[in-house]
Structure 1
Amino acid sequence: MTDLHQMVTTGFKSRFGTEPTGLWSAPGRVNLIGEHTDYNDGFVFPFAIDRRTVVALGVRADRLIRVASSFAEETVELSLDDLTPENLEGWSAYPLGVAWALGQFGADLAAVAGFEVFIDSDVPIGAGLSSSAAIESAVAVALNDVWQLGLDRRVLARVGQLAENRAVGAPTGIMDQSASLLGRADAAVFLDCRSLDAEVIPLGFDAAGLELLIIDTRVSHAHSTGGYASRRASCEAGARLLGVSSLRDLEVDDLVRARELLDDETFRRVRHVVTENQRVLDTVRTLREQGPTAIGALLDASHVSMRDDFEISVPELDLAVETSRAAGAIGARMTGGGFGGAAIALTPHALIPAVTAAVTAAFTAHGFGTPDLFVVRAADGAAREV
């Protein structure tokens, strides 16, 4: 049993006075490329990481739900009979929202038992590594097991997305939950967000002597606030004005017409999504044909697009990207929803210390807070642990 497993078990016993039925876990994710394309029915290429959220869950004999965590002092209680998005708020909306959303995908909430759950995690919060989807996915697989629902992983991803959209109020797509549930070691999930077809693609980082360095700027962000929602609204407006159901229906050649029909800001938002979709396809093809050492320029171009066209970067992210590239990373970009969070730098193993030192020094020189830098590896998705 790992330290995290021990902590969540101890936390469950301390809060609820009983032994849990079992432990389940789900990873955070890093998006290698494909940002803000998921809710536009586009392509994404994330992978699950070796940072996980663990939940200890116990089944009750009545209709009560009790949820607690290591990151909140209060224990939230709610009856299954009162489980609606309108009754949920704060951090507990993530696990409770999953329980509600399962009822929208076939679970008979009038017939299932209540439960108690304690949550702990080593996925950084607010870093763009999808700590929220890790919670949702871990709770989803746990309830799928104890309620004997028999839902497959792709349906559970939709459950998590619905919970985040309706219970939490964040207008996110399905990428994060898909990566957390479908991930495999040393591989990424090539996901078509329109059809939900997913293919696991080997990354080959280990064989190529590459590491993915996370540079957590520690500039916090929140998807349910205005910046993310306004970008999504711009994408929807652009699609409507161009007469397509979503920006997925556009190709790079369509940008000539888009420039003529759209105002400058909406055009740039559209251009990011259209070109980012193409970069995802190019990254998958390049990995297959040439290997991971050849994808650096695509990562770099993705960051420029997010910085200039989608305008979701911040000075700390730009500095992290520029400095890591100058210190030897073969490609770098911000990752996640933006407005803070983390950057990624695909870096030769031998240069990790030099890149880490250079980024830390640059942040100090610019008067920014100290970033948190660490390597992540592609890991397996959500599972029962005990």
Structure 2
Amino acid sequence: MSIIDDFQSHFDAAPDGVWQAPGRVNLIGEHTDYNNGFVLPFAIDRQARVAVRLRSDSVIRLRSASAEVAPIETSVDQLSSAKGWSAYLLGVAWVLRELGISVPGFDLLLESTVPSGAGLSSSAALESATALAFNELLDAGLSRKELVIVGHRAENEVVGAPTGILDQSASLLAAEGRAVFLDCLSRESELVPLDLPAAGLAMLVIDTKVSHAHADGGYSARRASCERGASALGVDSLRELSVEDLPRAQTALNEETFRRVRHIVTENARVLEVVAALRSSGPRSIGELLNASHLSMRDDFEISCPELDLAVETTQRNGAIGARMTGGGFGGSAIALIPLEREQQIRSAVLLAFSVAGFSTPDLFTVLPGPGAQRLV
């Protein structure tokens, strides 16, 4: 059944339209976004899709295509108190109302192929699809960069997750065969070539099934540590520091805070190196930078876990060009840049390694850089 048919069966009317927005893989640049640094995500070919119909009253009815998710009924006066999965959708409507845009009641049906809790930004896909839908239905006239901020505010102020603008930027600004090079200080973005098939490559995602949530304490603790480091070093954000500043930082900070700072500073440098390499030499030249990023997240930022480390190490041993965990950490997914001819060997090796270790069976799938959010109907 199509989402339009499904909507009609639930709400006894046709939707005003259908919009979709992709999840993302962050190629490199982890936890740098809220430090005003550099990131390099790309949209993937897994999507969140919303069918929406505006109402003439203030009632809001939400349904998910997943039978495990209970329907929700609320009103436009209750937007800021949204909880759970509805907070991502209702948070967008709340932000628009805060901006002075009149949002009436609405019916919305959600379906998504972006795994939740896998570090592939299922939340930003929901926010971006919803923001694009309301922007068009309400003739709000917001640019895509402004919609990034709408989704970001929903995540921060309603959901309560202290994330940066990476995820919404990837979902709304992406293009097929490209990565989004984003400067989180200026909010300027550029598209960088990332044509994996032309290079004989694929990006293998290993969803470890270790679920994480950005609203949990680990993510917040890392952000607070970065803020303490910046304050102690007399800068507004860690973006202002370079690798040459690290010896000074080491003498001024305690050992843990220094390691957190070192990850951000060196990760920013790695993003710039990857962008330069993609432009000059192509994706086969970035493997060692991906590997170095994982070590930094494992040892300095301490956001990896045994399952992520095993996924990375196994793919590396079996022919991956480079591999790293991706996303906020504490679970979720690893990515491996692999030659197409080695895909089956690498998949088999990962499944065997997880079985031997007694871990849950991971979900393995390949992704390609895909287009950003768009209206379907």
TM exceeding 0.5: yes
1:105 matched residue in structure 2: 99
Are residue 271 (structure 1) and residue 262 (structure 2) matched?
yes
> How far, CA to CA, are the matches of 2:14 and 2:148 in structure 1?
28
| Matched AA of 2:52 | L
Q: Does 1:74 align with 2:70?
A: yes
Whether the aligned pair in 2 keeps the contact of 1:105 and 1:159 (CA below 8 Å) is no
Cα offset, 1:206, TM superposition: 1.6
1:17 aligned onto 2:12: yes
Q: Letter of the aligned partner of 2:230 in structure 1?
A: A
Deviation at 1:105, TM superposition (A): 3.3
Alignment counterpart, residue 187 of structure 2, candidates 196, 199, 215: 196
Unmatched tracts of structure 2, length 5 or more? none
* Deviant stretches of 4+, over 4 Å: none
Out of 225, 235, 239, the position equivalent to 1:244 is 235
Looking at structure 2, the residues matched to 298 and 128 of structure 1 have their Cα atoms a distance apart, in angstroms, of: 20
Question: How big is each residue's C-alpha offset from its partner over 1:176-234, in whole Å with a ceiling of 9 and x where there is no partner?
Answer: 00000011111000000011000011112121101000011011111100000000000
Aligned equivalents of 1:70, 1:362: Cα separation in 2 = 34
- Stretches of structure 1 lacking an aligned partner (at least 5 in a row): 1-5
* DSSP-derived class of the 1:190 partner: strand
Correspondences of 1:73-222 after superposition (within 5 Å)? 73-83=69-79, 85=80, 87-107=81-101, 109=102, 112-222=103-213
TM-score, structure 2 as length reference: 0.98
2: distance between equivalents of 1:14 and 1:269? 51
Q: Is the 8 A contact 1:98 1:160 kept in 2?
A: yes
Structure 1 residue 152: Cα displacement: 0.6
Between the aligned partners of 1:332 and 1:61, the Cα distance in structure 2 is 51
CA contact (8 A) 1:7 1:120 kept: no
How far, CA to CA, are the matches of 1:11 and 1:176 in structure 2? 28
Task: Please give the secondary structure, in 1, of the residue aligned with 2:212.
Answer: coil
Secondary structure, counterpart of 1:15 in structure 2: helix
CA distance in 2, matches of 1:312, 1:200: 28
Partner amino acid for 2:25? V
SS at match of 2:71: strand
> Percent same amino acid at aligned positions?
60
What is the rounded CA distance, in whole Å, between the counterparts of 1:312 and 1:321 in structure 2?
14
Aligned-partner SS, 2:42: strand
Paired residue for 1:3?
none
Q: AA paired with 2:21?
A: A
- Give how far 1:290 is off: 1.3
1:56 equivalent in structure 2: 51
CA–CA distance in structure 2, aligned partners of residues 192 and 104 of structure 1: 26
What RMSD in Å do the two structures reach over aligned CA positions?
1.0
Query: 1:106, CA displacement in angstroms?
Result: 4.2
* Matches of 2:75 and 2:115, distance apart in 1: 30
Matched residue of 1:74: which SS?
Answer: coil
| 1:52 CA drift (Å) | 0.4
User: Hey, what does 1:46 align to over in structure 2?
Assistant: 41
| CA-to-aligned-CA distance 1:41-60 (integer Å, 9 cap, x gap) | 00000000000011010111
Q: Across the two proteins, how many residue pairs are aligned to each other?
A: 376
Provide, for residues 109-160 of structure 1, a one-character-per-residue CA deviation record: whole Å limited to 9, x for no partner. Answer: 3xx4321100001111111000000000000000001011010100001000
